[in-house]
Amino acid sequence: MKGLIFNIIRYAINDGPGIRVTFFMKGCPLSCWWCHNPEGISPNIEEVERIDKIGDREFRIKETVGKYYTVNELLDVAMRDFVFIEESGGGVTFSGGEPLLQVDFLVEALNTFKSEGIHTAVDTSGYASVSAIDAVIPFTDLFLFDIKHLDPLKHKKYTGVSNNLILKNFDYIITKGKKVIIRIPVIPGFNDDPDHLKALRDFVLGKQGVNIERIDLLPFHRSGVAKYRKLSLEDKMKGVEQPSTTRMDELKKYFFESGINVKVSG
């Protein structure tokens, strides 16, 4: 069996504990306005054109996004960094896109890494069938679970889907006793107003005591802008500024002072 991957990052330090290898799996049922990896949304291999400039000259270079890998090929990649992974208490993370869209491949991959004694994490939007979640639970040490907005209508407007299934799956995973880090993208004008921050805080506090390790606040950034051009996609976040370090520190303090373990992540 093969899985479609659009990026592999070695020495990743923000996708779970220690030093990790992160595999980005292609295909996502959401289409968030701020997505930093829009090349991961389509479930198919895509041909795109990159424009490189040298002086006044423009060079158009064809690029293929997405490549099929076997599980053994992924294992080979991770094993190159095994010493660092082991010494740092790291592992591998499956991200995307939405890794649960390729659930059969994901199960095989997680099972293989677990058999090698390697810590496994799944970074998910939470928008998946319960059967997909059930299939990966036995082989997943940690879920990185995105909570983007608690209001279903706002969630639908900005991501393309309601959050009903996501919140249901979140509860399902924690009742199964799995460790979870909640990831909250901090998107100015979308989810960072005082009322929603309070709602988020109350949501997290309401779940405490059930294996929630931490919340990670992920500041919006514009590093994906060039990708939108490359994929001929509309940049709906045009003109939105990245939250400042001071703002992120304020938000961190807000959650921390309520007794929540919180980190500002990359």
Please, which residues bridge with residue 93 across strands?
Answer: 22, 121
CA distances from 201 to 216, 227, 256 (A): 13, 33, 10
Toward ligand SF4, which CB reaches closer, 6 or 113?
A: 6
Task: Assign 3-class secondary structure to 167-217.
Answer: HHHHHHHHHCCCEEEEEEEECCCCCCCHHHHHHHHHHHHHHCCCCEEEEEE
Say whether residue 125 binds ligand SF4 (CB under 6 A).
yes
| SS3 of residue 230 by DSSP | helix
Say whether residue 265 binds ligand SF4 (CB under 6 A).
no
With CB under 6 A as the contact rule, the residue among 66, 96, 99, 224 that binds ligand SF4 is 96
CB 36 within 8 A of CB 15: no
Say whether residue 262 binds ligand SF4 (CB under 6 A).
no
x-or-dash string of contact with ligand SF4, 142-181, rule CB under 6 A: -----------------x----------------------
User: Rounded to the nearest whole angstrom, what is the least distance from the CB of residue 234 to ligand SF4 in the complex?
Assistant: 14
CA 46 to chain CA mean position, Å: 21
Question: Which residues inside 183-222 make contact with ligand SF4, applying CB under 6 A?
Answer: none
User: Rounded to the nearest whole angstrom, what is the least distance from the CB of residue 146 to ligand SF4 in the complex?
Assistant: 6
Say whether residue 224 binds ligand SF4 (CB under 6 A).
no
Toward ligand SF4, which CB reaches closer, 119 or 183?
A: 183
Toward ligand SF4, which CB reaches closer, 3 or 96?
A: 96
Say whether residue 93 binds ligand SF4 (CB under 6 A).
no
Let me know if 186 is exposed, middle or buried by CB neighbors in 10 A (0-12, 13-18, 19+). buried
Say whether residue 126 binds ligand SF4 (CB under 6 A).
no
With CB under 6 A as the contact rule, the residue among 21, 28, 184, 260 that binds ligand SF4 is 28
CB 118 within 8 A of CB 91: yes
Report d(CA 94, CA 80) in Å as an integer: 17
Say whether residue 122 binds ligand SF4 (CB under 6 A).
no
Residues that bind ligand SF4 (CB under 6 A): 28, 30-32, 35, 37, 40-41, 96-98, 125, 159
